Structure formats: structure tokens, C-alpha cells
Amino acid sequence: MDIFLQQLANGLTIGSMFALVALGYTMVYGVMRLINFAHGDLVAASAFVGLTIYTQVMGQATSLAAVIAIFLLTAGVMACVGVLLERLAYRPLRTAPRLSAVVSALGASLVIQNGVMLIWGPQMRIFPELVPQVYYTFGGVVISLMQVIILVLSLVLMIALYLFVEKTRMGAAIRAASIDQDAARLMGINVNQIIVLIFVIGSSLGAVGGLFIGLYYRGITFNMGWQYGLYAFIAAIIGGIGNIPGAMLGGMLLGLFNAFIAGYVSSTWADAFTFILLIVILIVRPTGILGERVAEKV
């Protein structure tokens, strides 16, 4: 029972990070019907940007104000990078065949990944310990302060995003643009601004996810975006890509699944079982758990 509860806590922590990254994939796909393959590399880049801000801007300060500043500055920088990515790699191809945008996304992914390698080097970098190593024990289950922060902050961000999309005028505009961009334009919605907004939100959430990955695992590499981006992409598909609550649910489920496989089988088999899970879900429910079947336009 202790192993079950321990893996439950670990799975929810990992799942929170997957969910934050998956939201970037699902928001872009929901409005643009585009798989932003560069999103995982933006997440990796955010960890290195956060490391640089910590060493070069904040003077390696570890106070609460400094940590908050690192998160805010990193999210701001990555939001600008996300907007730049949309303007340079995706907007010129918005009316082009879908395959052109996919190729552009793959190219952007390689550019970002190689850019991170050229700037920060190919070797693994150790992320600073910004959160004290404090552990809590509940009936044999050990949870670190870092896990608590990841769980709570991820939950707050996901609830805030959900309320923003469902309860605000701007959120209504995002939902309208995701259903039909032409109709949204006729209703006076500036679709270009909406697309910029989703890149700002998605990249900022991905930046928080990237910092969490650095803080939790400590070791960061220039090519880690492929692995975490793939997991987040799978989480978005499992939940129903294009569906915001689906990305949150998919991230949590995938994190729990990976943790239980690592705890009861072997961490070496985690990737294989993850893809088996994905295949099973796509066979049983091709649109994902919360995805809706959409009729093709003719």
C-alpha cells in the first residue's frame, strides 16, 4: 500500500508537469489545427533561460522574491520567443497546405534545439537548488516540498486558465476562433491577436513546466525537449487534443501511468507501456477521452 501511495504522489507530480506542457500543444492545435512540434524545445530552452537568469541577472539569489522573479522573467522571455516563432514560422504558412506548416514546425524544433546547444553547450547542466530540500512523511509516504509546490502551483495555473477561457470575453473569443475562424472574424474578433495570445499563454505555461523539470530532475540537456514534448503530446492526445480540460486530464493520467509502471514493473519499460496505452486509447476512443468528433467540412 505504501508503494501505491508513494507512486500516486510521484505520478501526480510528473503528471502536473506533463499537463502544463500539454496545454501548449492543445491550445495551438485547438485554434490553428497545427501540431507545434517546436513546443517541447521551447520547454527545454526555458530551463536554460531560467538558469541564465538565476546566474546572470539574479546573482544566484535564492530568496522567495528571487525565485518568483526567475519564473516571471523566464515566462516573459519564452512568451516573446513563442510570439516570434508564430510570426516567423507559422503565420506566413497559414494559408499553405497543412504539410508545409508541419515541416515548418519540425524545422523550428531543430533550430531551437541546435540554438540551445550552441548557446549553452552540449553537456548536461545542473539546475540550481532554488527550493530547500524539505521532506514530509505521511504514513510511510515521503513527499518533498518541491513536489508540493509543483502540484499546488500547477493546479492553480490550470484552474486559472480554465476560468479565463470559460468565463472571460477573451476566452470566449478563443473558443469562437477554435470553432470557426472565418465566422469569428465576421463577429469582429481579431483572430491574429487570438493566435498571438495562445502562443503567449502556451509558451508561458511551457516555461513554468520547463523550470519545474529543471528543479525536480536537476539535470537539463539541450535535447530533453524531444522527450518531454513527446510525453506531453501523448498526454494531449489521450485527453483529446484541442480540449483544455482533456490536456490536464491526459497529463495527470500519463504521469500516474508512468509512475505505476516504474513502481510495479520497471522504469525501463515505461516508454513501451506508454505507447501501448496510447494505441489502446486511440483504438477504443480515437478522439481521446474528452475529445469530440468533429464533422469534416465538404
pLDDT tens by residue, 40-92: 999 999 999 999 999 998 888 888 899 999 999 999 999 999 999 999 999 99
Q: Which residues are bridge partners to 135 per DSSP?
A: 144
**Residues 294, 180: Cα–Cα separation, whole Å:** 12
For each of the domains in the chain, give its residue range(s) and CATH number, in order of start. 1-284 (1.10.3470)
The pLDDT score that the predictor gives to residue 55 is: 92
CB 20 within 8 A of CB 208: yes
Instruction: Read off φ and ψ for residue 55, nearest 5 degrees.
Output: -85, -40
Residue 294's pLDDT band (cuts 50, 70, 90): low
Tally: H helices and E strands in the chain: 11, 4
Grid cell digits, residue 107: 524545422
The pLDDT score that the predictor gives to residue 202 is: 93
Give the list of residues 6+ apart from residue 295 with CB closer than 8 angstroms, or none. none
The answer, yes or no, to whether residue 146 has pLDDT greater than 80, is: yes
Grid cell digits, residue 192: 491574429
The pLDDT score that the predictor gives to residue 52 is: 95
The pLDDT score that the predictor gives to residue 298 is: 39
